[in-house]
Structure 1
Amino acid sequence: MSVKSAQRVVQVFECLTIHTEGLSIKEISETLDFPQSSTSNLIKTLAAEGYLRQDTQKKYKLGPKLIGIGTAAMESLDVSAVGKPYLKTLMEEVQETVFMALMAEEELVYVAKIDNNRSIRTTAQPGNKKPIYCTGLGKAFLSFMPEESKNKLLDSTQLLPITSHTITSREQLEHELAESRKRGYAIDNEENEEGLFCLAAPVYGGDRQMQAAISVAGPKERMTARKDQIAKVLLLTSKKISASLGYLAR
């Protein structure tokens, strides 16, 4: 059973996480549909304890005491451990192999793989590193990371052909990444392994930064026949993992 006062504290924090410019007591009350008198008492109590702060415009923002709590929470989260139950459910729904990868020192590293009983043979395994420009997971990072970081990575990357389908033109790759951003997920169309088709989506953390990417991979013919259905489940899964890591969509 939820405790109303605790629930309201959480709602205030979530509200101010979205409204980073700050809100007055009246604005918080109206946004959350709380009575103004009880909102005033709640906000002033949280501010007195250091969980909120008031700026010169009398707007309330998240306070410094939350920094230590947030840091401790981030340190206690293991992205792959948090994601694995969701990846297992994803595999069961789409009946294809699913992966999770992280970026480590500008390299793509696989941290999880959940096979399906009809999985395609692939060289991708947990602990392995793969090129960032020609894998679905890598292209998801390139598509959704900050522009400056993407340009830095591509400036230092040779677009070598891995298969006959690998994109080796910077201009063509940039176009592909722009398309990925529009649809919300990246595609690897036999660019790293012949016959393998992959859809990959970003996972965000509580700091609103991309923490990982997840993907569904399988034989091209089987994947393309169900592409829209797989993409829908993939994106829903990425949102669930992101929420579990503290990400709040604006």
Structure 2
Amino acid sequence: MSVKSAVRVLQIFELLMGHPQGLNIKEIATALGFPQSSTFHLVKTLHEYGYLSLTDLKKYKLGPKLIQLGTRSMESMDLYRDARVPLERLAELVKETVFMAVLLGNEMVYVAKVDTNRSVRTSAQIGSRKPMYCTGLGKVMLAYLPENKRDEILSRTPLNPITENTITDRQELESCLSRYRAQGYAIDNEENEEGLYCIAAPVFDAAGEVIAAVSVAGPKERMKKRHDYIVFHVKNTAKMISKKMGYLS
């Protein structure tokens, strides 16, 4: 027998997953058909405990506590467990920073990071979230998502410029995604952080659906010199992890 307040909390989380910019209390209550007074108390409690955060526009969105819980959950999942060794081997081969990310709502969240003695400083950390359109990891997942899911994410995501190289034109982005799907990998050419170049490949589950992505990131000049070498090993690592997840290519 379900508990009404617990069910409502879960419904609030699921609603806000699809609204990364946040919703105010009235909007939450209206969308879910809850009384505004009880919605107020639930949301205030979740905010107090860090499960929701409040924006400058007085809108509530998923909070940092959920990211921590999600990261801990990933550590116990087959994906994280089966990917750990291949990711470490990839880092040893390319001598650059290796990442893995999964889709969370309309964004991507980093679930693994392997540093090397040549790793560069980056804002990307385990548990941190990024928009899909400006990272190699996000773009390669977008490229392999079903068209309706990709359209849904992009329609809800403003293509704001993060750097001078960020792709902000929807048509140009769609063209890039088609090319990435055809070649089996995506790149981030200083689109999220200046000076950082990233090569990413998709990870699939037993049903053939993209569930994650693996990337190598490093200084642009150094990455470009070994572009083909890194592409080969990123794609190979992603295939190894996909095979462990039951995917038969």
TM, length-normalised to structure 1: 0.68
1:123 pairs with 2:126: no
Q: How much does 1:145 deviate?
A: 0.8
Return 5+ residue gaps in structure 2 as ranges. Answer: 1-75
Paired with 1:180 and 1:192, the residues of 2 have a C-alpha distance of 17
Instruction: Give 1:159's aligned residue.
Output: 159
What is the CA distance between 1:77 and its match in structure 2? 4.7
Matching residue of 2:135: 135
Alignment of 1:160-175 (within 5 A): 160-175=160-175
Query: Match for residue 89 of structure 2?
Result: 89
SS at 1:92 equivalent: helix
In 2, Cα distance between equivalents of 1:220 and 1:210:
27
Match of residue 102 from structure 1: 102
Work out whether residues 110 and 124 of structure 2, in 8 Å CA contact, stay in contact via their aligned partners in 1: yes
The structure 1 segments of at least 4 consecutive aligned residues displaced by more than 2 Å after TM superposition are none
- Root mean square deviation, CA, Å: 1.0
- Which has the higher Rg, Structure 1 or Structure 2? 1
Partner of 1:190: 190
Q: Distance in 2 between matches of 1:110 and 1:77?
A: 14
State the SS of the aligned residue for 1:168.
coil
1:48 corresponds to which residue?
none
Is 1:147 the equivalent of 2:147? yes
What secondary structure is seen at the aligned counterpart in 2 of 1:171? Answer: helix
Please list, as runs of the form range in 1=range in 2, the aligned pairs for 1:66-81 lying within 5 A after superposition: 77-81=77-81
CA distance in 2, matches of 1:77, 1:123: 25
Query: One-letter code of the match for 2:137?
Result: L
Give yes or no for contact 2:106–2:157 (8 Å, CA) kept in 1.
no
Residue in 2 aligned with 1:222?
222
| Aligned mates of 1:122, 1:242 — CA distance in 2 | 27
Contact 2:165/2:190 (CA < 8 Å) preserved in 1? yes
TM-score by length of 2: 0.69
Residue correspondences, number: 174
Distance across 2 between alignment mates of 1:81 and 1:188: 26
Deviation of 1:164 after TM superposition, in Å, equals 0.6
Deviations 1:191-247 (A, max 9, x none): 000000000100001121111101000000000111111000111111110000111
- Does structure 1 residue 179 correspond to structure 2 residue 179? yes
Q: Secondary structure of 2:98's partner?
A: strand
Query: Percent identity of the aligned residues?
Result: 53
